[in-house]
Amino acid sequence: MTNHTLQCGARTLDLSAPVVMGVLNVTPDSFSDGGRYADRDAALRHAQAMIAAGAKIIDIGGESSRPGAASVSVAEELDRVIPVLEVIAAECDVVISIDSSTAAVMTAAASAGAGIINDIRALSRPGALAAAAATGLAVCLMHMQGEPSTMQQAPSYADVVAEVNQFLRARAADCVTAGIAANKIVLDPGFGFGKTDQHNLALLAALPKIVAQGMPVLAGLSRKSMIGRLLGRPVEDRLIGSVTLALLAAQRGACILRVHDVAETVDALQLQQALNDVALKNAEAGQG
């Protein structure tokens, strides 16, 4: 049974219905919005707009994870994310997620008000697992084959669903061993991270198998290059594809949707919830 709440530092996140995580990249080179929110005031305004549109989580990232992206120094990542995190924590009533793989950034972010550590490397960098455990925060573990600089060169699996599921199960067990409570762990299959389009579609189709592990599942499909290839759309014209994939993920059990287009995704989820509510009432009436 999947947890219906997630304790994120001082805040409790209600996951009884899917929630939206708004993406806030404070990087110069992210694939869809690089450089737009690197300034602290611009980042705050964007966070406030996403919260007003219905985002329950703001995910702050200071290191691009686009295919081919280069790594940044710890000092540079800290300089990018901590001032933004501090001002959002001071000005906004929202769960803040820090999108980082670096132990020092996790520790500083926790002190600055973060409630979730969202790591594309599943706490595999030196010191990351111990640092995350020491914060007491919720963690999101993502599967990635390879590193961002090389992950899309030739991704290969014998059985992508089984291998991703096995990896996530093993990393969750490692987290529990390190002292992170099982009810503070979120799983992310890592759409687009060392996967072909067919791998991504197979994972989406089989998402209930990951959900069946009993931990909340995050899906990040927003503006992915897969949409561009399947629909022939440039990154600025992937709204409908992004919202459709988010809705499909929610229908298959994902309870956190990481998106750039918050308002549109929230609208779609509200319509789905309205339909679900009617279906539930009809079923209860039939049983009576």
Q: Write down the domain spans for the chain.
A: 5-287
Q: How high is the pLDDT of residue 8?
A: 98
> What percent of the chain clears pLDDT 70, i.e. is strictly above it?
91
Q: How high is the pLDDT of residue 149?
A: 64
Q: Give tens-digit pLDDT for 221-263.
A: 999 999 999 999 998 999 999 999 999 999 999 999 999 999 9
Token representation of residue 7: 């304790």
pLDDT classification of 107: cutoffs 50, 70, 90:
very high
8 A C-beta contact, residue 253 and residue 187: no
Q: Give tens-digit pLDDT for 125-149.
A: 999 999 999 999 999 999 998 777 6
Cα-based distances in Å from 190 to 81, 165, 201, 258: 22, 11, 12, 11
**Does CATH place domain 5-287 in 3.20.20.20?**
yes
pLDDT classification of 14: cutoffs 50, 70, 90:
very high
Q: How high is the pLDDT of residue 249?
A: 98
Determine phi and psi for 223, rounding to 5 degrees.
60, 20
Which amino acid is residue 116, in one-letter code?
I
- Establish whether 224 is a catalytic residue: yes
Q: Is the pLDDT of residue 29 over 70?
A: no
Q: How high is the pLDDT of residue 154?
A: 72
- Establish whether 169 is a catalytic residue: no
For the ranges 39-48, 63-72, 242-251, the maximum mean pLDDT occurs at 242-251
Catalytic residue among 184, 195, 223, 258: 258
Q: Is the pLDDT of residue 34 over 70?
A: no
Q: Is the pLDDT of residue 97 over 60?
A: yes
Q: How high is the pLDDT of residue 65?
A: 72
Q: Is the pLDDT of residue 69 over 80?
A: no
Distance between CA atoms of residues 86 and 109, nearest Å? 8
Catalytic residue among 80, 195, 224, 252: 224
Which amino acid is residue 68, in one-letter code?
G
Rounded to the nearest angstrom, the gap between the alpha carbon of residue 114 and the centroid of all alpha carbons in its chain is: 14
Of residues 42 and 13, the one with the higher pLDDT is: 13
8 A C-beta contact, residue 43 and residue 82: no
Q: How high is the pLDDT of residue 85?
A: 97
Q: How high is the pLDDT of residue 2?
A: 57
Q: How high is the pLDDT of residue 173?
A: 98
Determine phi and psi for 218, rounding to 5 degrees.
-100, 140
> What percent of the chain clears pLDDT 90, i.e. is strictly above it?
82
Rounded to the nearest angstrom, the gap between the alpha carbon of residue 272 and the centroid of all alpha carbons in its chain is: 20
